[in-house]
Chains A and B, each alone.
Chain A
Amino acid sequence: GAGVSQSPSNKVTEKGKDVELRCDPISGHTALYWYRQSLGQGLEFLIYFQGNSAPDKSGLPSDRFSAERTGGSVSTLTIQRTQQEDSAVYLCASSLGLPGGLQETQYFGPGTRLLVL
Chain B
Amino acid sequence: QKEVEQNSGPLSVPEGAIASLNCTYSDRVSQSFFWYRQYSGKSPELIMSIYSNGDKEDGRFTAQLNKASQYVSLLIRDSQPSDSATYLCAVTSDSNYQLIWGAGTKLIIKP
Q: Which residues of A contact B (CB under 8 A)?
A: 31, 33, 41-43, 45, 48, 50, 56, 91, 97, 100-103, 105-111
Q: Which residues of A contact B88 (CB under 8 A)?
A: 42-43
Which residue of A is nearest B44, CB measured? A108
Q: Are the C-beta atoms of B43 and A31 separated by less than 8 Å?
A: no
Taking chain A's interface residues, is the majority helix, strand, or loop, or is none over half, making it mixed? loop
Report which of B92, B101, B102, B104 forms a contact with A103, defined as CB distance below 8 A: B92
Residue in contact with A102 in the complex, picked from B43, B46, B51, CB distance below 8 Å: B51
B49–A110 contact, CB under 8 A? no
B69 CB within 8 Å of chain A: no
* Chain B interface residue count, Cβ-Cβ cutoff 8 angstroms: 21
| B103 close to A41 (CB less than 8 A) | yes
Q: A31-B97, A56-B98, A103-B92 are in contact. Are A43 and B32 (CB under 8 A)?
A: no
Show the binding face of B for A, using Cβ within 8 Å: 31-32, 34, 42-46, 49, 51, 88, 92, 95-99, 101-104
Q: Let me know if B49 and A45 touch, CB within 8 A.
A: no
Residue of B nearest to A106 (CB): B99
Asked whether, in the complex, the Cβ of A103 is within 8 Å of the Cβ of B99, the reply is yes
